[in-house]
Chain A
Amino acid sequence: NAGVTQTPKFQVLKTGQSMTLQCAQDMNHNSMYWYRQDPGMGLRLIYYSASEGTTDKGEVPNGYNVSRLNKREFSLRLESAAPSQTSVYFCASTQPDSSYEQYFGPGTRLTVT
């Protein structure tokens, strides 16, 4: 099992460009999450999908959209990138009938100039 995979690993965008971060999990988990990690801020939840077909805002959703494409895949889209979105983005998944621990992908390092 690959666990949680994310693409791309690195990306540089110019202000105003758009891009989609991809996430997939092969653990048959129901719930998936997108976080951003900034120095001194810990992890902040952007959006989550408690189950296939549902998505909800987290703590910092502004400037982002998500799509739960199917049970495996959960993508994060930046429509018009801003320098404030320079960050490391992590995708995670969990199976709700367990102890709810989340499994993380390796991250996407995004720089917006």
Chain B
Amino acid sequence: GEDVEQSLFLSVREGDSSVINCTYTDSSSTYLYWYKQEPGAGLQLLTYIFSNMDMKQDQRLTVLLNKKDKHLSLRIADTQTGDSAIYFCAENSGGSNYKLTFGKGTLLTVNP
């Protein structure tokens, strides 16, 4: 079955880069996503990458995909205190039900 794994915690200093890692097991994944959840809020889509790409950049965010190792990462440049949140990795393996499988989330703490 599908499984998505993430480390649970990451702590960085303001201004540093943050790298959040994710591994997945389903080799038929078509899209992979990063969501952000701030305290008391719903999930907000940050970015996604199609499985035939190996990198996507969007302002301070860089997504790297290593399809051979089934490894996805999210790099946040110049991390700010407002980036403190839980970050979820998710994958879509296609099919007619369009379900996503989520990791358990990584709590990013940005220290001033």
Q: Which residues of A contact B (CB under 8 A)?
A: 4, 31, 33, 40-43, 45, 48, 50, 56, 58, 90, 92, 94, 96, 99-107
Contacts and interface: CB of A to CB of B under 8 A. Distances in A.
Interface residues of B, number: 23
B48 A104 contact: no
Interface stretch (B61-69, B71-79, B91-99): B91-99
Interface in B94-108: 96-100, 102-105
A40 B103 CA distance: 10
Contacts of B44: 104
A2 to B, nearest CB: 13
B88 A43 contact: yes
Nearest to A96: B98
A42 B97 contact: no
Contact of B105 (A42, A92, A94, A96): A42
A46 to B, nearest CB: 12
A106 B39 CA distance: 11
